[in-house]
Amino acid sequence: MAIGRTFKESLQKCLRSMEIGRAGLGGDGKGWRVGDTVYGDRDIFPRDLIVQKLTTPNAERIFYLRHALRAGLTVDEIFELTKIDRWFLTQIQQIVDCEEELASLATSA
């Protein structure tokens, strides 16, 4: 269970508490293993892989929402693939946008 003042805070707290070695939705510097391939945390996944992972509900789908947004899929495109309410997708988009901003500041420093 995760309690926070906002959905975004609660979601990140929930993902950290799952004990799967992730520090939230992503941006923690840890790689991602997909089959035999290992991607870096900042790598953009192939679009066909993202679409495949989003169209079928599974335990990893929440993380593929992040990868979809980072790969340039819009909230509306993700909604059509997942039928996840746009409000939740917009909240996740804001988390990803914040991650991108922080990453750009880290590389420019």
Q: What is the pLDDT of residues 42-54, one digit of tens each?
A: 899 999 999 999 9
Q: What is the pLDDT of residue 20?
A: 86
**In the beta sheet, which residues pair with residue 34?**
37
Q: What is the pLDDT of residue 83?
A: 97
Q: What is the pLDDT of residues 48-86, one digit of tens each?
A: 999 999 999 999 999 999 999 999 999 999 999 999 999
- Predicted confidence band at 1 (pLDDT cuts at 50, 70, 90)? low
Which residue segment(s) compose the domain that 56 sits in?
28-108
Q: Is 73 contained in some domain?
A: yes
Q: Is 12 contained in some domain?
A: no
Q: Is 9 contained in some domain?
A: no
User: How many domains in the chain?
Assistant: 1
Q: Is 67 contained in some domain?
A: yes
User: The tokens of 104 are what?
Assistant: 């750009």
Residue 90: other Cβ atoms inside 10 A: 11
Which amino acid is it at 44?
I
Q: What is the pLDDT of residue 109?
A: 64
Q: What is the CATH number of the domain that holds 85?
A: 1.10.1030.10
**Residue 108 scores a pLDDT above 80:** no
Q: What is the pLDDT of residues 13-35, one digit of tens each?
A: 999 898 888 888 888 888 888 98
**In the beta sheet, which residues pair with residue 87?**
none
User: Which residue stretches of 1-109 are H helix?
Assistant: 7-16, 47-55, 61-70, 75-82, 86-108
CB 50 within 8 A of CB 67: yes
Which residues, at least 6 apart from 25, have a Cβ–Cβ distance to it below 8 Å?
A: 11, 12, 15, 62, 63, 66, 92, 95, 96, 99
Q: What is the pLDDT of residue 30?
A: 87
Residue 3: other Cβ atoms inside 10 A: 8
